Amino acid sequence: MQLGALGMRAMRDRRAIMSITTGIVGAAGFAGVELTRVALRHPDLQLTVVTSNELAGVRVADEYPAFLGVTDLAYTTHDDPKLDECELVFLAVPHTAALAMAPRLVARGAVVIDLSADFRLKDPAVYEQWYKTPHTATDLLAQAAFGLPELFPDDLARVAARRAQGEGVLVGCAGCYPTATSLAAAPAIRAGMLADAGAVVVDAISGVTGAGKKATARTHYCFADENLEAYGVATHRHTPEIEQILGIEGRLVFTPHLAPLNRGLLSTVNIPLASGAPRTTEEAVEVYSEFYRNSAFVRVLPAGKMPKTSSVAGSNYAHIGVAVNDRAGVLIAVGAIDNIGKGAADQAMQCANIVLGLPETRALEPVAVPVG
């Protein structure tokens, strides 16, 4: 099928103002295809390369028919030389693959936004402990920014400044569970509300896109449908990342769960309260509202309301609800995101916007689909 005449014209109109050549490595996975969608609607980017070693030669629109008549791009392999011409490169590949590719791209001056786990953990020893492989780019790791804009704006600003001087830079974006969990936990913890002792218990639930595009028993419809289960109990690799973000090393009990939906991630964070901490839900809501007062993407719900993942599906928004259990002395903070949106592709684009000096919200304005 050919790109329709009108589709072509619309593409040309947009291309006129596009300037930043962009590539996505690992563009056929769930985060990669969402990045493709967002990049194609971004007025300042020109998407020129999408790679997938498995699907090289296949058109994006043949793998994902939603792109029929929207783009004629086809996947190429990860070593496509056109990547070398990209000013902006997203890496949506498994860990260790990003480790192998990022240094060269940064060295030649690209803005690299990495969605893998390779540049999240600041301590290479912790990386090796949890990922069972040594970190081979510790210099780059040291200068990389951590991609969670609401909690580490200065880190991204630092890298944006270097980029403004023409340097290649790297952002290691936060994982999906760490994003929802930390957005829900950070306001209380940074306000000193966490008790000195006691575990921070996080029980989080993810849709099946979180398990990846590979067809397995776990992702088979008939096993995921009408089922709930916990997985990676006491062993999930997002544990050290959350502990690092929140500064609660060794105190996190993190249990992820799988539920039968496509996109959506809900993280319920239980924070034992310090003796002097506020003990009413209303006070907690105020702390949170103040914290996110200027945030473009995080909404704090009023006391008595809790977030729904359907409210943020397909978007970069995060909704947060809080309540205090005064009898047990625990703050419950619940964060809802789209694991592929704010938890992956959309947050990566938000980071790219910031580093490139564009408005943070560029191409990310759409309201979530309110029903369905």
Q: Note if 351 is an active site residue.
A: no
Footprint of its own copies on residues 116-135 (CB under 8 A)? none
Catalytic residue among 173, 176, 222, 351: 176
Torsion of CA 70, 76, 78, 82, to 10 degrees: -80
d(CA 367, CA 75) in angstroms, rounded, equals: 29
- Using the rule CB under 8 A, which residue among 95, 122, 257, 279 binds its own copies? 257
Whether 103 contacts 144, CB under 8 Å: no
- The stretch among 73-81, 85-93, 148-156, 253-261 that binds its own copies (CB under 8 A) is 253-261
User: Is residue 89 near its own copies by the rule CB under 8 A?
Assistant: no
Count of residues that bind its own copies according to CB under 8 A: 110
One symbol per residue from 207 to 226: x for binding its own copies (CB under 8 A), - otherwise; what is it?
A: xxx---x-xxx-xxxxxxxx
- Using the rule CB under 8 A, which residue among 42, 120, 263, 342 binds its own copies? 263
* 315-318 long-range contacts, CB within 8 A, separation 24+: 315/341, 315/342, 315/346, 315/364, 315/366, 315/367, 315/368, 316/341, 316/342, 316/346, 316/347, 316/349, 316/350, 316/364, 317/341, 317/342, 317/368, 318/150, 318/179, 318/180, 318/183, 318/342
User: Is residue 81 near its own copies by the rule CB under 8 A?
Assistant: no
Smallest distance from the beta carbon of 12 to its own copies, in angstroms?
A: 13
Distances (CA, A) of 277 to 73, 120, 253: 54, 31, 22
User: Is residue 99 near its own copies by the rule CB under 8 A?
Assistant: no
Footprint of its own copies on residues 26-45 (CB under 8 A)? 30, 33-34, 36-37, 40-41
- The stretch among 129-137, 144-152, 157-165, 255-263 that binds its own copies (CB under 8 A) is 255-263
Nearer of residues 17 and 371 to its own copies, judged by Cβ: 371
SS3 251: coil
Footprint of its own copies on residues 279-338 (CB under 8 A)? 281, 289, 292-296, 299-302, 306-315, 317, 319, 321, 323-330, 332, 334, 336
- Using the rule CB under 8 A, which residue among 26, 69, 175, 278 binds its own copies? 69
Nearer of residues 16 and 222 to its own copies, judged by Cβ: 222
In this structure, are strands 229-230 and 252-258 parallel, antiparallel, or unpaired?
antiparallel
Nearest-CA neighbor of 85 among 21, 41, 28? 21
- Using the rule CB under 8 A, which residue among 23, 42, 67, 278 binds its own copies? 67
User: How many angstroms separate the first and last alpha carbons of the chain?
Assistant: 29
Nearer of residues 89 and 323 to its own copies, judged by Cβ: 323
Q: Which residues are catalytic?
A: 176
